Structure 1
Amino acid sequence: MKTAINVIYFFVSAAFLFAALSSCGRSDQPASPAIVIMGDERLTLDDLRSSIPREMTANITKADFEDYVNRWIDSHILYQKGLDLGLEKNPDIQRRVREFEIRLIGAAYLDSTLETKIIVTPQEISKYYEENKDIFVRSKQEIHLKHLLLEDKATSDDLYRKLRRNQAEFDTLLVQYNSHLPEDERDLGYVSEDDVAEIIWSKVKNYRNNAIVQPIKTDFGYHIFKVLDKQEEGSIKELDDVKIEIEARLRQQKLEENYTSLLTQLKASVKIETYFDLLNRIPLDSIVSRNGAEFARGQ
């Protein structure tokens, strides 16, 4: 759910952002096919692709794309009407655009300077795991599951009978029927009762390792689960199960360290004058008021 919210938030924000960034027009006719043409403005397929952060590509649906295109249209219409009123000349608007430009270019500089230089080695991951095993203790029972997702009951019943006779066919059937699904939707890894629907957990928890679970019907279709392993509350997760999590933690840690180091170096190369004593002389509730501004000018 959190990922879905992030995707929606991105598209809502990006639609309005794209309107502002594309306001200068294009000198060259784009080779990419146009999805929308509106006056002198156009949204091309390449524009759409380049607007999507890499980390979101796996979670975006066609409905998200359509929503983005519709919001692009809405934002461009509103943007053009704002230009008709001369709002781009408003000092407050210009200031906010400038602030955004500073943040955007600064963030791009950080990406190009820091992200590409961060490397997390297997040795660092192993060391972190050995030194922090206590944070990888299971708080609840977890079960490692794979599952087939099928559209109709007849097919699920037929495959279940086949698997009862020969469990070794599970991975073959998984490829045959669910190759269109991402790997993490076929092999769910270790999950707890908080990660799956109650109707699923209430069934799979009663099966032994390597058992095939009788088809379970949900709103998504018919599921046939294979129980690969069970780990009880209080057990420690294996390194292979937390490698990705550890790498993300170490990467973020290095990013923050490099960010602090980089800013320290950059600040040392620039003359910066600060007047925090001025803020200390102005009452907090009047800093944003006209009287506060007049007070500051009078100092």
Structure 2
Amino acid sequence: MKYLKFFIFLTISLMVFSCSKSDEVVVKAGSSKLTKKELQEDLKSLPPQTKAFLATQEGINRLKDELIKREVLYEEAKKKDLAKSEDFKRRVEEFKKITLINMLLEQELKNLPQVTEKDAKDYYEKNKDQFIKPVEVRLSQIVVKNEQEAKKVYEKIDKGEDFAKIANELSRDEKTKSIGGDIGFFKKGQLNPQIENVAFSLKKGQVSMPLNLKGQLYIFKVTDVKGVPIDFEQIKPQLMEQLKAKKQQEWFQSYIEELKKKYKVEVNEKALQEILNQALIGGKPEQQAK
């Protein structure tokens, strides 16, 4: 439970707390109290869409009830001396670590250049074949017996090997492996519904996760798409969000690599494996070594 934020679904207009003293007590339970300033900080980052609800009397009553719950539970926890427990201290340290990490990332991300409409438009123009509402798709397939064989296929794909070459080497479908797994063009309604749902959700060049069909695993790749182009304005918001997420992910990976070089990193592989064995298998590490 996130005790300090368990009423996160609530927000409120600051007009409700329009008193002049910033440290004025809003809720008190025993020796525990919540001040106006603390509550304002708690509510600062909440979503605006719930403000309308809390503008009503029902909303204010709901907030008041949640605040009372928080303070009486906090008071009871203090009475039981839970703050002195080692578990509490461990959780506080973990919370501090996570909070500091989040603050660092928030700070660094502010310096990251924003994705502009021009960025999205340029990407759209260079990758128009990705933005087509498919009417027909051309598929290639690789058929394997089990997950172990599927893993080999994906390992080769991840290394950048040609799908057709992999199909020729590893596919168990004798009819299509010699032609790189190609099974031709299909319109909606011509495929098994399970295959169709996957095929028409993929973009050109994308590879599916394995589908279990008749006791075998099928891996599909969309090699061509025929359809109607999607207008830029229609997908602009989603495309900008995708590019933003991609930019942040690329930055994060680069940032982590920089930090690895900056700080000396050491991993005790033996200790790590012992802990994992104990946690996942059970028993003491020394027992598992026998």
Distance, in Å, in 2 between the alignment partners of 1:71 and 1:139 is: 49
The answer to whether structure 1 residue 276 and structure 2 residue 256 are counterparts is no
Aligned counterpart, 1:244: 237
Please point out which of 92, 96, 104 is paired with 1:101.
96
What TM-score, normalized by structure 2, do the two folds share?
Answer: 0.51
- The alpha carbon displacement at 1:14 in A equals 1.5
Q: Secondary structure at the match of 1:128?
A: helix
CA contact (8 A) 1:15 1:72 kept: no
Which is further off, 248-257 or 273-282?
273-282
Q: Percent identity over the alignment?
A: 20
Structure 2 gaps of 5+ residues are: 9-19, 136-226
- The reply on whether 1:265 has 2:258 as its aligned counterpart is yes
RCO higher in 1 or 2 (8 Å CA, sep ≥ 6)?
Answer: 1
Q: What per-residue deviation string (whole Å, max 9, x for no partner) do you get for residues 182-240 of structure 1? A: xxxxxxxxxxxxxxxxxxxxxxxxxxxxxxxxxxxxxxxxxxxxxxxxxxxx5433212
Aligned to 1:118, the other structure's residue is in SS state: coil
The alpha-carbon deviation at position 284 of structure 1 amounts to 2.0
State the match for 1:58 in structure 2.
49
1:47 aligns with 2:39: yes
Opposite residue 256 of structure 1, the aligned amino acid is Q
Tell me what 2:72 maps to: 77
Instruction: Look up the match of 1:215.
Output: none
- In 2: Cα distance, 1:113 partner to 1:284 partner: 37
Whether the 8 Å contact between 2:23 and 2:35 is mirrored in structure 1 is no
Amino acid corresponding to residue 233 of structure 2 in structure 1: D
- 2:249 corresponds to which of 253, 256, 261: 256
CA shift digits 1:93-121 (9 cap, x unpaired)? 21012111110111011101113423113
Partners of 1:41 and 1:107 in 2: how far apart? 27
Q: What corresponds to 2:6 in structure 1?
A: 15
For the residue of structure 2 that corresponds to 1:262, the secondary structure is helix
1:21 maps to none
CA distance in 1, matches of 2:62, 2:129: 44
**How many angstroms does 1:41 deviate by?**
1.3
Q: What code does the residue aligned with 2:48 have? A: T
Partner of 2:192: none
Question: 2:114, 2:244 within 8 Å by CA — same for their partners in 1?
Answer: yes
Q: Secondary structure at the match of 1:42?
A: strand
Contact kept in structure 2, 1:118 and 1:254, CA below 8 Å: no
Structure-2 separation of matches of 1:105 and 1:137: 43
Q: Distance in 1 between matches of 2:237 and 2:4?
A: 29
Q: Give the aligned residue type for 1:91.
A: E
Deviation at 1:86, TM superposition (A): 0.8
1:89 aligned partner: 84
Preserved CA contact (<8 Å) 1:114 1:259:
no
Q: CA deviation at 1:89?
A: 1.1
Tell me the secondary structure at the aligned position of residue 117 of structure 1: coil
Unaligned runs of 5+ in 1: 1-8, 18-28, 141-233
Letter matched to residue 45 of structure 2 = P
| CA deviations over 1:148-187 (Å, ceiling 9, x no partner) | xxxxxxxxxxxxxxxxxxxxxxxxxxxxxxxxxxxxxxxx
| 1:36 pairs with 2:27 | yes
Instruction: Rate the CA distance shift 1:283–1:268 in 2: closer, same or farther, 3 A.
Output: closer
User: Following the alignment from structure 1 to structure 2, what is the Cα–Cα distance between the partners of residues 57 and 122?
Assistant: 25
Deviation digits for residues 66-108 of structure 1 (CA, Å, limit 9, x no counterpart): 5444323212211211111111111112101211111011101
Does structure 1 conserve the Cα–Cα contact (< 8 Å) formed by 2:23 and 2:37? yes
Across the aligned residues of Structure 1 and Structure 2, the Cα RMSD in angstroms comes to 3.9
Alignment of 1:1-299 (within 5 A): 14-15=5-6, 30-31=21-22, 35-38=26-29, 39-44=31-36, 47-48=39-40, 50-53=42-45, 56-60=47-51, 61-62=53-54, 67-138=62-133, 235-281=228-274, 284-286=277-279, 291-292=284-285
CA contact (8 A) 1:33 1:44 kept: yes
